[in-house]
Amino acid sequence: MSKGIGRLVQLGLAKETTRGTAISAATYWLPTDEISIDEKFENAVADQAVGVVENSINEYRVKNYADGSFKVPMMDQSTGLLFVSLLGAQAVAAHGAEAAVYDHTFTVGESAQHQSLTMFLHDQLSGVDYSHANGVVHKMDIDAQLKKFVQLSLSARAQKGVSQSSFTPSILSENRFIPQYMTFSSAPNTAGLLPIYSGTGTAASTIHVTALSFNTDVLSVGMTVTGTNVPAGTTIAAIVSATAVDLSQATTGNAGTLYFGSLTATGTASSTIHVTSLSINTNQIKVGMTVNGTNVPAGATVAKIVSSTAFDLSAASTGSIGTLTFGGAVVALKSLKLSIDETVEDQEVLGNVAPADFLNKEFKVEGSLEAIWQNETDFKTAALATPNVGQALLIDLKNTDVTIGTAANPELKITLDQVFFTEFSRPIKIKDLVYSTVKFRATYSLTNSEMIKILLTNTVSGAYA
C-alpha cells in the first residue's frame, strides 16, 4: 500500500460472454478523468428491545454490490463497448467501399438485460486489483463544451469485487473528438436530416456510375439520387469503389450533375426565389434547410414557408428548376449535453446477499443545448408550436484531422428520430451576446420504430465482443 494520486488507478472493461461470469482480461483500458467504483453494502440492524436503553445489539449483512461513476473522453473505439452496454443492440457493416473501416450501429434493445461487462480496477495505491462481474452501464451524459474534449460521464452497477493478480494495463492509441468536429442539424423528420452531396459522374443508360467527382466515403446505400436522366425514385443500390456507385435504376441517357440525399421533391421556379407546386407538403421542411438542384445556387436554403405547397429560397434560381434535394438545417452550437438513462433496478432475491442481476427498465433520452440567437425558426418556432411539433436531430462528430482506411474519418453520428422541446429561454444582458437555451426530450417514433440510433465509424472489425 502507498500514498498517491488518482492517476495511479486505472479502469478496464470487457464484454461478458456469459452474463455474470467475469472475463479474465480487459479488452480496453480507459483513459479516465475521474473514477469512483465503490463497494456498497446494506445491513439489517437487530434493534429489538432487550431490556437496555442501547439501540441495537448486532447487525447482519443483507446485500453486497458495487456502484460507481467515471468520466472518460469520447474515443473512436472503446466508446463502442459502452454503447453496447447502455443501448443493448449492435450491428456492423463495412463502411462504403473501404476494406478496413466499419460502421457500428447501436440501437435500443427491447429487453431488460442489455449487455453486461466485466469491470477491472488496477489500483497501485492499495496494491490489490479487482474484477467486478455483471457490470452494466445504466446512464451516460455526453457533454460537448468549447475548448474541451467531448466527455462521457457514466454511471455503472456491478457485483462485489473479487481480488485478482495484478493486472498489466495497456492503453490503446485511439482517436478523440473535440467540439470543433461537431455539426448539429435538425429537420421535421429523419428523411431531411442527411446532408446533401453533389458531383459529376459518368453513366449513360446504365446503373453504373463511374468517375464520380468526390469520394463515395460520404455516401450510403439507400440514399436518394437525382439529376439529369436519373429516373424518379432512384437510390444508391451499392457502393462499388471510391469513385463508383450502382443505382437502383438505369439512367435514361447521359447523367450530368448528380445530387445525393434522402428528401426530394419537384417544384416550379424559374429565375426566382418563389418555389410553387411542391410535390411534398412543406410540413416536411423547415426554414434553414439546405436545398440543392438544377439551377439552384450553391448554399441556398429554405428562407420562408409560404403555404403547404410553396416556399421561398434564400437565393433566386438561375433558371427552371427540376427535382430538389433537401438537407438538414444546420445551427452552430455553443454547448450540448445529451443524457441517456435506462433506469436500472437491482434484482434482489432470497437466499443470496448479491443481487441476481441488474435490470434496465424505462429507456429515456433528454438533452439541452445553447446557441447564439439568430432566428426564431432555429428553435423557438418549433418549441412554441401548438399542437406540438416534433423535430429530428442529428449530432455528427467527424474527426477530419485523422484519415482511417483510404479516405474515411473516425466519426460518431447520433440520430434522435423525434424530439420535443420542453423549455426555451433567451436571457438578455445588455453587455453580452444573446444566446438561446433549449431543453428537449426524445420520444419513440412509431414511424421509424426507434428513438435513438448511434453510428460509430472506426477500424474495429466485426461486432464488439
pLDDT of residue 327: 95
| pLDDT tens digits for range 145-163 | 999 999 999 999 999 999 9
Do 201 and 304 belong to one domain?
A: yes
Average pLDDT, integer, range 71-94: 98
Amino acid residing at 392: A
Residue that is last in its domain, among 277, 308, 330: 330
Is the Cα dihedral 102, 108, 110, 114 positive or negative?
positive
Query: Length of the chain in residues, anyone?
Result: 465
Please tell me the distance from the alpha carbon of residue 6 to that of residue 457, in angstroms, as a whole number. 32
Asked if residues 195 and 217 have their Cβ atoms less than 8 Å apart, the reply is: no
Asked if residues 273 and 303 have their Cβ atoms less than 8 Å apart, the reply is: yes
70: pLDDT strictly greater than 70: yes
Do 33 and 147 belong to one domain?
A: yes
Domain that holds residue 361: 7-40+63-193+335-465
230: pLDDT strictly greater than 90: yes
228: pLDDT strictly greater than 90: no
Asked if residues 454 and 84 have their Cβ atoms less than 8 Å apart, the reply is: no
How does the average pLDDT of the chain come out, rounded?
A: 96
pLDDT of residue 267: 95
Please tell me the distance from the alpha carbon of residue 454 to that of residue 76, in angstroms, as a whole number. 12
pLDDT of residue 178: 96
Asked if residues 186 and 442 have their Cβ atoms less than 8 Å apart, the reply is: no
Is residue 56 one of the residues assigned to a domain? no
User: For residue 88, which of 111, 65, 67 has the smallest C-alpha distance?
Assistant: 111
Do 274 and 360 belong to one domain?
A: no
Please tell me the distance from the alpha carbon of residue 78 to that of residue 290, in angstroms, as a whole number. 34
Asked if residues 229 and 253 have their Cβ atoms less than 8 Å apart, the reply is: yes
Is residue 315 one of the residues assigned to a domain? yes
Average pLDDT, integer, range 437-453: 97
Say which DSSP state 217 is in. Answer: G
User: For residue 419, which of 208, 190, 203 has the smallest C-alpha distance?
Assistant: 190
Please tell me the distance from the alpha carbon of residue 405 to that of residue 215, in angstroms, as a whole number. 13
Is residue 157 one of the residues assigned to a domain? yes
Spell out the residues 6+ positions from residue 88 whose beta carbon is closer than 8 angstroms to its own.
Answer: 108, 109, 111, 113, 114, 115, 360
Is residue 293 one of the residues assigned to a domain? yes
Q: What confidence category does residue 307 fall into, taking pLDDT thresholds of 50, 70 and 90? A: very high
Domain count, the chain: 2
Q: What confidence category does residue 256 fall into, taking pLDDT thresholds of 50, 70 and 90? A: confident
Residue with cell 498489466: 168
Average pLDDT, integer, range 46-63: 97
Residue that is last in its domain, among 279, 296, 330: 330
293: pLDDT strictly greater than 80: yes
1: pLDDT strictly greater than 80: no
pLDDT of residue 437: 97
> pTM of the entire structure?
0.94
Residue that is last in its domain, among 266, 300, 330: 330
| pLDDT tens digits for range 331-352 | 999 999 999 999 999 999 999 9
H/E stretch holding 329 reads strand 323-330
pLDDT of residue 336: 98
Asked if residues 248 and 283 have their Cβ atoms less than 8 Å apart, the reply is: no
User: For residue 259, which of 302, 299, 225 has the smallest C-alpha distance?
Assistant: 225
Residue 120 is placed in which grid cell? 477491472
Do 369 and 392 belong to one domain?
A: yes
Is residue 1 one of the residues assigned to a domain? no
| pLDDT tens digits for range 116-142 | 999 999 999 999 999 999 999 999 999
Could you give the percent of the chain with pLDDT greater than 90? 95
322: pLDDT strictly greater than 90: no
Do 137 and 35 belong to one domain?
A: yes
Please tell me the distance from the alpha carbon of residue 307 to that of residue 277, in angstroms, as a whole number. 10
Do 311 and 286 belong to one domain?
A: yes
Chain centre to alpha carbon of residue 21: 29
